[in-house]
Structure 1
Amino acid sequence: MIITGVTLAALPASAALPAPVVVPATQPGGTTTAKPGSGPRPDHRPPRVVEQWASAWNTGDALAMSALFAPDGTYTDHAFQAAFTGPAGVEQWVTTTMQRFRAFRATVENAFRLGDNIAVTWTFAGTFGDRTPFTPPHDPAGKSFSVPATSVFTLRHDRIVSAEDYYNLADVLRQVGLPAGPFTPPGAN
């Protein structure tokens, strides 16, 4: 058990330490390893804004996505080094993305919230369409990928002021047969 903000040496010998909170571990399929009545059951649903964000991506609904953002909100895709500001910018990002991919899918794996900050792990999957962001002779049209991703949201008054996506672009490139640069482990020359 980790106790923060308390110096154990300063506690009298008769002082009682707080009881640990038991949070059941989740098994695949939503079952838990905790015994009934052993503690509180956490809510396993992601925060509502995360559900709305994933739904907007999965339906390609640029207007629904833009409605989640504050007027000065930013959406940053670090892999493609792209950033868009405000609802109109976010709408443009979703529209551009949907023009480049078929069968785009955002599958939320896990999400947690601390105040106005949310972290999401998810799977980014799709198939490149005919309008890819790559130049000839590199053409991944019709090729699919699936990579782990993490997004970090900052909210203000339940609107997104910052959404940042992180995933490994080299993984995407390798899966669709594009050059991603060779990986040579140190000392393997």
Structure 2
Amino acid sequence: MSKDIVGQYFAAFNAGDADGMLALVTDDVEHHVNQGEVRRGRERFAEFCSHMGVSYREELRDIVILAEGDRAAAEFIVHGTYLQTDPGLPEAKGQTYVLPAGSFFTLRDGKIARVTTYYNLADWIRQVS
């Protein structure tokens, strides 16, 4: 079950289906972003998804999902294009990047209650600079 939910989450991400992602998270979801603050709640998660859809176009490939009980982890490669400048980051000019990343999940009542994502920000900055 855990692997299925996480697989659906990544399929929605790759389809650019923010509503599909939102349908898979709890109302009080905790979204721990690499190098950023924890966003709590579906509304904050929706804001993040909207921002990402404008600033980046990404596809996750080579996804491997491991799950046990109410926990899951995934490793993947992000293939992306930097579309619109994010404040405090290099200027966006349509640069492409390939970046290994990983996410950790806590599941509750058949939904994602926490997602924590990690990647090497310095590597990303080097690739888009």
TM-score by length of 2: 0.89
User: Contact 2:31–2:45 at 8 Å: present in 1 too?
Assistant: yes
Q: Look up the match of 1:133.
A: 86
What percentage of aligned pairs have identical amino acids?
29
User: Contact 2:99–2:119 at 8 Å: present in 1 too?
Assistant: yes
Q: If each structure's helix is expressed as a fraction of its own residues, which one has the higher value?
A: 2
Q: 1:92 aligns with which of 47, 64, 68?
A: 47
User: Contact 2:26–2:111 at 8 Å: present in 1 too?
Assistant: yes
User: Contact 2:31–2:115 at 8 Å: present in 1 too?
Assistant: yes
Q: Hey, what's the Cα distance between the residues in 2 that align with 1:89 and 1:165?
A: 16
Larger gyration radius, structure 1 or structure 2: 1
Paired positions, count: 128
| Consecutive unaligned residues in structure 1, runs of 5 or more | 1-45, 178-189
User: Contact 1:65–1:90 at 8 Å: present in 2 too?
Assistant: no
Greater RCO (Cα-Cα under 8 Å, separation 6 or more): 2
TM-score by length of 1: 0.63
Q: 1:149 aligns with which of 70, 83, 101?
A: 101
- Residues 38-70 of structure 1 show CA distances to partners (whole Å, capped at 9, x for unaligned) of xxxxxxxx8111221112211221111111111
Distance 1:82 1:175, change over 3 A: same
CA RMSD in angstroms comes to 1.8
- Of 57-66 and 91-100, more deviation after overlay is shown by 57-66
1:74 aligns with 2:9: no
Q: Hey, what's the Cα distance between the residues in 2 that align with 1:90 and 1:108?
A: 24
Q: Hey, what's the Cα distance between the residues in 2 that align with 1:119 and 1:135?
A: 29
Q: Look up the match of 2:71.
A: 117
